[in-house]
Amino acid sequence: MKTYRKTATLVGSAYLFSNITFILGAIVMVEAILGSPEYLSLISASRAQVILGVLLSFINGLAYVGIAVLLFPLLRLHFESLALAYVGFRVVEFITQILADISPLTLLTLAENPGQTGVASGLQGPGALLLAERFWAFQMLNLIFSISALLLYFMLFRTRLIPGFISIWGLIAAFLVLFNTVLGWFNSGLGEALGTITGLPMLLNEVFLGIWLIARGFNPSATAIETARQLTLEP
């Protein structure tokens, strides 16, 4: 019987790796600078930190795409269209993340070479515009992320590849991210204030799921069903 143990370990490791790279890259290295009132002077003095943070964010996006690709063979036998849609949403999410990460790199260029870029008279206007672009790019990213997470946990719940409580936890956490994202469109202050509260369950869920998959793997009875299905489909 095929247990997909290697797949479970890779997916679990990717979940842990993606969250570590996101926290270090997007939050600790990049947002710590962009969130400061003196971000224009800080960003020019922290070139290596900004570039490394963007690279870590890029790797985070690749990890999520990798998770979708690894899970696709397991999910498609039950939900071929939804499994394919899940992979598509992860790819679009990755593209949206790249768009969000263009802003700090552009700000870095403007801050280091204001004369060459034609904004020597002042960087506040272009800087505010780029921060606004990053904000809305992240809003779109969170929207796509929450939808893809809802799809994933629905399929995991139905296939019983993981314990039901993890899937239900993931569904609730994804809904909270979706709710806060839409709320932020109409009230950015309230959305930002609730961001940590609504995002923490998703973070904890993904970390727990990653550890579970590494330690326990997929549900053996569910993978046995998948093996049987594959055998019946073989010519």
With left for phi above 0 and alpha for psi between -120 and 50, is residue 160 left, alpha or beta? left
Name, in order, each residue with C-beta under 8 angstroms of 128's C-beta and a sequence gap of 6 or more.
none
| For residue 95, pLDDT beyond 50 | yes
Mean pLDDT for the chain?
Answer: 87
**CA triple 97-213-17, angle to 5 deg:** 35
Q: In 3D, which of 155, 183, 180 has the Cα closest to residue 170? A: 155
Q: Please state, as a whole number, how many other Cβ atoms lie within 10 Å of the Cβ of residue 100.
A: 22
pLDDT(160) > 80? yes
Rg (CA), the chain: 20
Instruction: Quote the number of domains for the chain.
Output: 1
What is residue 145's predicted lDDT score, i.e. its pLDDT? 96
- Tokens encoding 45: 């003095």
pLDDT score for 120: 45
Q: From CA 198, how far away is CA 193, in angstroms rounded?
A: 10
- For the segment 11-20, the average pLDDT, to the nearest whole number, is 96
Q: What six digits make up the tokens of 66? A: 């990798």
Is 90 exceeded by the pLDDT of residue 44? no
Average pLDDT over residues 45-73: 93
pLDDT level of residue 142 (50, 70, 90 thresholds): very high
Q: Return phi, psi of residue 114, to 5°.
A: -65, -35
Q: What's the pLDDT tens digit per position in 58-69?
A: 999 999 999 999
Which of 65-74, 122-131, 178-187, 189-198 comes out lowest in average pLDDT? 122-131
* DSSP summary character for residue 90: H
pLDDT tens-place string over residues 101-128: 988 888 888 887 755 444 444 567 777 8
pLDDT beyond 90 at 13 = yes
More confident residue, 46 or 17: 17
**pLDDT given at position 117:** 46
Distance (Å, rounded) from C-alpha 207 to C-alpha 68? 16
Full domain range(s) for residue 174: 5-233
Residue 32 neighbours by CB under 8 Å, 6+ apart? none
